[in-house]
Amino acid sequence: MADIDPLRLDKTRFRSHPDLDVCSHGLTLWDLDRLFKVDGCFGGSPYMKLRDVLSILRDAYCRHVGVEYTHILEPEQQQWLQQRVEAKHVKPTVAQQKYILSKLNAAEAFETFLQTKYVGQKRFSLEGAESVIPMMDAAIDQCAEHGLDEVVIGMPHRGRLNVLANIVGKPYSQIFTEFEGNLNPSQAHGSGDVKYHLGATGVYLQMFGDNDIQVSLTANPSHLEAVDPVLEGLVRAKQDLLDSDGEQRFSVVPMMLHGDAAFAGQGVVAETLNLTNLPGYRVGGTIHIIVNNQIGFTTAPEYSRSSEYCTDVAKMIGAPIFHVNGDDPEACEWVARLAVDFRQEFHKDVVIDMLCYRRRGHNEGDDPSMTNPTCTTSSTPSAGPARATPKP
């Protein structure tokens, strides 16, 4: 129902659901100005015109964010989400819009420089999915707003260098040095470690607040999703050390990035989700961000999974799921903050499915016109979240 695919690969599905037609519910255009009893569901008014109800519902569910929460068993959580989603969204201030744009530009400029300077070197580019940088920034900022102690990130290799530079704060010079093949001999590396396997630690300072928060990125191999249980165990250990008085405050937040094909296809994802609510393994909720570039290596979604969405596996733990258009950075930012608020309110996992695309091949040695011709044709060279963003 929502406009969540920046490429609109399946044009037959865009706002074509029969539930969106008033005639499917026994109503006509002549009913738009009739008053209907809504029992205060929309802003407290007991009665509203059908026209106004439709406007609220379209803004909540048919724009650039789609929401799944009716599978959640707890009515309190459903009601909380419904109220937050259907409330009128507060537009970011001009200063906040400029900040979002600056994060997008930083992510895009970083990838452009690497593509120009280190032609053909593997880096697993984030191009086409740059909105994940302002999304992660917003989530970490909201964690700082709640006064939490640390955000620990686990992620695969795609976009890792961009996250290291623009989220964790690893110096550009150090990253470029690794591209030149000059690894720091004082740092211990395994024989197979490469630049997109490494982790780092930094401190996040709020741009529009006074709080700061520790941010760390765990090291991991190229084996997709292998870091998931490692991250959860690391966070639980940190929480146990901080909560030595026995009270669980869950002040360390695990943030996990996934690919769409890996989230649906890797068994370790379901195994780790299954531990979510067990007393011995609870971490108070994980923020899952799926960088959904709508392809797994060279395999299209319709040939790689049987479910409608790659996120359907998360329904088994009753996690709310947000699908968001990656070409709308403001929507990405809003969803990230809402996800953190839900995690803090109910101490449960939240899943964000950010639909985007992969500008280049699986790695920079691939020709995307051969391995991913459909998306390559749909995404023009000038496309990108920063260029799609209206200037403040």
pLDDT (tens digit, 0 to 9) for every residue of the chain, 392 residues total?
A: 788 888 887 766 666 677 778 888 888 888 888 998 887 777 778 888 989 888 888 899 989 999 999 999 999 999 999 999 998 888 999 999 999 999 999 999 988 888 888 776 667 778 889 999 999 999 999 999 999 999 999 998 888 889 999 999 999 888 888 777 666 655 555 555 566 677 899 999 999 989 999 999 998 887 889 999 999 999 999 999 998 777 888 999 999 999 999 999 999 999 999 999 999 999 999 999 999 988 888 888 888 899 999 999 999 999 999 999 999 999 999 999 999 999 999 999 999 999 998 877 666 656 666 666 766 555 554 456 665 666 55
Residues 18 and 154 occupy one common structural domain: no
Residues 206 and 131 occupy one common structural domain: yes
Token reading at 330: 């403001």
Question: Residue 185 domain-assigned?
Answer: yes
Q: What is the CATH number of the domain that holds 368?
A: 3.40.50.970
pTM: 0.89
Question: Residue 132 domain-assigned?
Answer: yes
What is the count of structural domains for the chain? Answer: 2
Supply the DSSP symbol for 209. Answer: S
CA atoms within 13 A on the CB side of 183: 14
Residues 127 and 274 occupy one common structural domain: yes
Instruction: Name the burial class of residue 18, with classes exposed (0-12), middle (13-18) and buried (19+) by CB atoms within 10 angstroms of its CB.
Output: exposed
The dihedrals phi and psi of 178, each to the nearest 5 degrees, come to -65, -30
C-alpha–C-alpha distance, residues 167 and 115, integer Å: 20
Q: How far is CA 208 from CA 10, 211, 216, in A?
A: 39, 9, 21
Beta strands in the chain (DSSP E): 35-37, 47-49, 65-68, 150-154, 200-205, 212-217, 252-259, 287-292, 321-325, 350-355
Residue 318 sits in which domain range?
A: 94-388
| Helices 172-179 and 94-117: angle between axes, nearest 10 degrees | 20
Residues 151 and 288 occupy one common structural domain: yes
C-alpha–C-alpha distance, residues 183 and 356, integer Å: 33
| Total length of the chain | 392
Question: Residue 82 domain-assigned?
Answer: no
Q: What is the CATH number of the domain that holds 17?
A: 1.10.287.1150
C-alpha–C-alpha distance, residues 268 and 229, integer Å: 8
Residues 98 and 212 occupy one common structural domain: yes
Residues 2 and 104 occupy one common structural domain: no
Residues 36 and 181 occupy one common structural domain: no
Question: Residue 236 domain-assigned?
Answer: yes
Residues 23 and 161 occupy one common structural domain: no
